[in-house]
Amino acid sequence: MSTSSHCPGSRAVREPTPEYHPCPNCGEEVEIWTHELSYPCGKCGTRVFREQRPSCIDWCPHAKDCVGAELYDSLKPKKVETPAGGTPLDSLVKEHEEALTRLALLRATTVCLKVKANSPSDQSAPSLKNDMEHLGQIMGFFEGELKDHFRKEEEGLFPILERHVKGEGGPAGVLLAEHRDLWEKYARLKAGAALISANGNPGAAANEVYDIASQIIILLRGHIEKENTTLVPLARNLLSAEELLELRSSWGR
């Protein structure tokens, strides 16, 4: 990518603006610029963190050249290593982190698709090739790693947990219903992606893909929060060491 021109999506990164966040310790308002991740409170010294929203830094292969190496390195999310010897429940939580990363990529990719596919008619239509390749990679994650993650829960964790907490209104029943809802939405996303590829005027299809991707992101983020804050702590308290071994063994089927 030429250093003399930049993708419009990187403007928020290259041209930072101030945001104001309350200190969690004393309530003082702290100014944090959008190219910073955190800043110490001027009143009590507590470090206040800014919510890190998805940006081109998360997914674009040209981001480092576009915004500069120093800014890129300061904002690029750092990988969290999985502790050695963790339990199967730790593995599920780690997989949740990867899913959240993919959701950020889904948001960025579908935003780009929507903008490019609806470019003004008096301008030459930008290529959607790279964005569709990114979308295909994300869909590959859904059909591979995410599907396997759900299998681990549906065939392993949920049945074991239901020995202790029964009923459709229990956490396993609620989460299983959300699994079904997500796959219904994913089928619509896949159909919309096929329309973009086949349509010479893909604006409407790109809008549909953006809308359904937004629904998937909201659903799966909320789903992961339920599992991390309710399901996993419940399983840690209820499952015996033997049941944790049984859970790990079930994943090999």
Domain definitions of the chain by residue range:
8-75, 88-250
What per-residue confidence (pLDDT) applies to 169?
Answer: 61
CA distance 55 to 10: 8
CA distance 55 to 4: 21
pTM for this structure? 0.68
User: What averages of pLDDT result for each successive group of 10 residues across the chain (253 residues)?
Assistant: 48 72 80 77 76 58 65 56 68 91 89 83 71 92 96 94 77 90 96 85 88 94 90 91 92 72
Q: Are 182 and 216 in contact (CB under 8 A)?
A: yes
Superfamily of domain 88-250: nmb1532 protein domain like (1.20.120.520)
Single-letter amino acid, residue 67? V
